[in-house]
Structure 1
Amino acid sequence: MTYDIDAQYLIDTTRNLIEVDSPVGYYPEIHAYLKQLLDDMGYSMYTDNKSTAYVRVAGNDSSKTVCLGAHLDTIGLIVRGFNDDGTLRVRQLGGINYHSIEGETVRIHCRNGNVVDGQVICNKHSVHVFEDCKEAPRDEDHMSISIIGDVSTVDDARALGVTPGAIVAIDPHFVSYDNGYIVGRYIDDKAAVAVLLDTLQWMKATGKKPAFDTLFAFPIFEEIGHGGAFVPAEVSEYVALDITLIGPDYDGDEHSVGVIVSDARGPYDWELSNQLITAAQQVCDEGKWNTQVCFRYSTDAAAAYCLGNNIKSGAFGMACLNTHGRERCHVDALVQTAKLTRAYVMDEHAK
């Protein structure tokens, strides 16, 4: 089957999702936004006690239930304490590369609902002030959040509502270019969420049903390794949509979708991975799909499998450069991922 994908919808939806803060565990804003999108499409969203959002779609065959997951959470920071000058000490939420966030502006989401603007600084922040500025480590013990405002003491920071446990979202600076490239933080995994929304919209517009009962899942704890830890009992296979990689050992480029056959936790299910490969052969453009062994990386599907759920696991997604920094991708990769998603949902490998 040939699938016509609206590339501009994928770019716009990715941008809109990225602009809604959702660092690991902070879900109020993104849940409200996602629920409105799904309501507008005519779907019902619900959440479990782990704050994973779901949409259930009845299939042509109810003999099994499959799950497609794309995580809503992004990497971020959490306030752990204060320095004497009112700057904030933080811990990472997910695999932060501190070198990539120096100087970035942030939003501090306080427990009382306040949102406070800040900036990531190295404690030795200027070559004009500190002789060893360039040599100072860039890590959580040598970097802080400086509140943008008249703050010079711990009490000043606390007066704004900042406490340990406040969640810090780093500005994404999303840009789309006329040649199809997109650059911004959190393409991982907001672009994959956009692909699932595209699939849901396509099914609603065409009246098509998935081959099997399908659960679309949107976890909020993937970046710390356990977003997919809980899987509803009826699910027999879990396929994660997540970024794939570019660099030595990887065949992908920014135009391609990759089928992940193994990752840091080990191999994915042999048969399910082969089904995804067959579907990619049938629906993806020549030269724009590949297989990957992602040995410094894992997904919700692997977490679900390794943590004891009785499921088959698989994964695929758009190739992305500069992961966990300001990431870069091409809309071609989103389009190929959308084609493979539809093929999986419609059980194209069997045709």
Structure 2
Amino acid sequence: MQRFETDTDYLLEVTRQLIACDSPVGYYNRIHALLKMLLADIGYEMQVDNKATAYVVVPGASSEKTVGVNAHLDTIGLVVRGFNDDGTLRVRQLGGINYHSIEGETCHVICRDGSSVNGQIICNHHSIHVFEDAKTMERTEDTMAVSLIADVKSPADARKLGVSEGAVAAIDPHFIAYDNGYIISRFLDDKACVAAQLHTMKWLAQTGTQPAYDTLFAFPIYEEIGHGGAYLPTVVDEYVSLDITLIGPDYASEEHSVGVIVSDIRSPYDWNLSNRLIRCAEKVLEPGRWNQQVAFHFSTDANASYFAGNNLKSGAFGPATLSTHGRERTHMDALVGTENLCHAYVLGYGD
């Protein structure tokens, strides 16, 4: 078995930095500034298209084809759609929010002028000491609101702070890395995979190693609402997403492992490309530390690109993650395994 040496300090610290940087769907200014700095630190310059996807192209040993790998920068969040009479904010979800998992959570509302206001996500019937149905009320976008942490009693008060329709709420992630290797945080989906992708790029730059083929490293923005990969440069022949994979009754998986997604809610992934990813996993990951998954409540930018009509093959893999779209939990073993599998794929180990 071939294992690549991983700088775990770099992998963990970059994951931490990325998670701390707000990027709810559609809001990319801060995360692009951070990504630009992280790429410059390892010797790359990024380009950004009109869809706000950042790219780096690394020449390969062969130009026979161009392969693409991606990890998305956007996270789930909320967008302000209006105001309640008491000045709390009516919101809609950006991505697959589980409202039960964010009740009581702190957030900050990013206004259109770039300023921000702290807030808390509450149920309209928020207290068992006040509301008879506080426990039983369904948590939906119609029963949840953002309460600004300020002296706000009316819509006018909220507007004076700069809040308007179209402001976005970034949920606080509460990142914790434990001494035994476990990590708990919101937005491991997909910041942990961005870090793994950056680690592979760092190794290529530091060692002067070329990928097997011309390789486009992509960082999409709109994955959480299904169209991050809709546009892709036409030179890309195959596109592989690094994204979280799943833990539960249908998955032979736990937090130490890496999943190769062979099918999802949209479609099977390309048969031959998935088999190459499986061969890569067999070469660099220990038995029992990887699995194949049919992810039937889930999809990725690779399949979004495929469904948008791009002429390519799609594939996907990533770290097994508990409580996805909540406060997620994985282990450094899964991040290292994801980086090793990315490494193996771009070096052509599955050919």
1:12 CA drift (Å): 1.4
Alpha-carbon distance in structure 1 between the residues aligned to 2:209 and 2:254 = 32
Specify the alignment match of 2:210 in structure 1. Answer: 209
1:240 CA drift (Å): 0.4
Specify the alignment match of 2:14 in structure 1. Answer: 13
**2:35 is aligned with 1:34:** yes
Specify the alignment match of 1:61 in structure 2. Answer: 62
Alpha-carbon distance in structure 2 between the residues aligned to 1:184 and 1:132 = 30
**Contact 1:285–1:336 under 8 Å retained in 2:** no
Moved over 3 A (4+): none
Give CA deviations for 1:108-128 in whole Å, capped at 9, x if unaligned. Answer: 010012111000011011111
Please show how residues 282-293 of structure 1 align to structure 2 within 5 Å.
282-293=283-294
Please show how residues 286-305 of structure 1 align to structure 2 within 5 Å.
286-305=287-306
**What one-letter code is carried by the residue in structure 2 that aligns with 1:254?**
E
1:286 CA drift (Å): 2.1
User: Secondary structure in 2 aligned to 1:223?
Assistant: helix
**What one-letter code is carried by the residue in structure 2 that aligns with 1:173?**
H
**2:102 is aligned with 1:105:** no
1:63 CA drift (Å): 1.4
1:287 CA drift (Å): 1.1
Number of equivalenced pairs: 350
Please show how residues 63-142 of structure 1 align to structure 2 within 5 Å.
63-142=64-143
1:135 CA drift (Å): 1.1
Give CA deviations for 1:135-164 in whole Å, capped at 9, x if unaligned. Answer: 111111001000001000110000011000
Give CA deviations for 1:75-134 in whole Å, capped at 9, x if unaligned. Answer: 000000000010000000000000000010101010012111000011011111112111
**2:344 is aligned with 1:343:** yes
Alpha-carbon distance in structure 2 between the residues aligned to 1:267 and 1:127 = 46
**What one-letter code is carried by the residue in structure 2 that aligns with 1:78?**
V
Percent identity between the aligned chains?
A: 64
TM-score between the two structures when normalised by the length of structure 2:
0.99
Alpha-carbon distance in structure 1 between the residues aligned to 2:336 and 2:115 = 38
Specify the alignment match of 1:268 in structure 2. Answer: 269
Specify the alignment match of 1:250 in structure 2. Answer: 251
- Give the CA RMSD over aligned residues: 0.7
1:46 CA drift (Å): 0.8
Give CA deviations for 1:280-331 in whole Å, capped at 9, x if unaligned. Answer: 0011122101100000000000111111100000000000000000000000
Alpha-carbon distance in structure 1 between the residues aligned to 2:47 and 2:83 = 37
Specify the alignment match of 1:323 in structure 2. Answer: 324
TM-score between the two structures when normalised by the length of structure 1:
0.99
**Contact 1:182–1:329 under 8 Å retained in 2:** yes
User: Secondary structure in 2 aligned to 1:38?
Assistant: helix
**What one-letter code is carried by the residue in structure 2 that aligns with 1:228?**
G
**Contact 1:86–1:157 under 8 Å retained in 2:** yes
